[in-house]
Chains A and B, each alone.
Chain A
């Protein structure tokens, strides 16, 4: 059974700091891994999608890496801003799983202090 774990559960940093969020998964047979952002009381915003054949994806100040063999992904946020405060979720799509269903971690709640 696929399990997705995110560490830390919460993180507080001063503005301007670079930071790394971690995601690990127990079954390496994945199609892809997706990072999301969720603001309080809001839906999920897709940040980055990494296919299983890729090592990393970049979008602006965000960089996500994937090491499928070790079951790990990291989300790197450069020069953090108060507007980055949100809960960050990672999720994987299993090969052979049901119709692309995402398996989510429990998220990392990020707070960036001005």
Chain B
């Protein structure tokens, strides 16, 4: 029944490693997103993607890259992890090419040591 799911829920890793977070939605939506929630609980968009276009927030380092194997999945790859990457990462999806209601996954708490 889960609409937007993410794995893993928790991820602890060392600086310099490369890691991935997976996201799947079973709502048939056409647009998916990645958001970052920092230690002060502030949520900011990182990427939005539909089957036509990837929009990257200009403040996101190029160590972060979204990859979409199909319409229902948008995975987040992070290279050369840094301490400042520690945060909770949320995946979301919506219909209507981005102007519909957005539904969020449960989040992945990433801790970089």
Contact = CB atoms under 8 A, between A and B. Distances in A.
Interface of A: 31-32, 34, 36, 42-46, 49, 87, 89, 91, 93, 98-104, 106-107
A46 B92 CA distance: 11
Contact of B55 (A89, A98, A107): A98
Contact of A102 (B42, B45, B106): B45
Contact residues of A: prevailing secondary structure: strand
Given A43-B90, A44-B90, A87-B41, A101 B98 contact: yes
Contacts of A45: 104
Which 9 residue pairs across A and B have the least CB separation, nearest first? A100-B98, A99-B48, A44-B104, A43-B106, A101-B45, A98-B55, A99-B98, A104-B43, A49-B101
Interface of B: 31, 33, 35, 40-45, 48-50, 53, 55, 57, 90, 92, 94, 96-107
Given A46-B101, A91-B43, 12 more contacts: A42-B107, A44-B90, A44-B92, A46-B102, A98-B48, A99-B49, A99-B55, A99-B98, A101-B98, A102-B35, A102-B92, A103-B45
A98 to B, nearest CB: 4
B99 A93 contact: yes
Looking at A44, A91, A98, A100, the one whose CB has the most chain B CB atoms below 10 A away is A100
A99 B35 CA distance: 14
Contacts of A89: 43
B97 A107 contact: no
Given A99-B48, A99-B98, A46 B55 contact: no
Given A34-B101, A44-B104, A46-B101, A100 B31 contact: yes
B98 A107 contact: no
Contacts of A49: 101
5 contacts: A44-B104, A49-B101, A89-B43, A99-B55, A100-B102
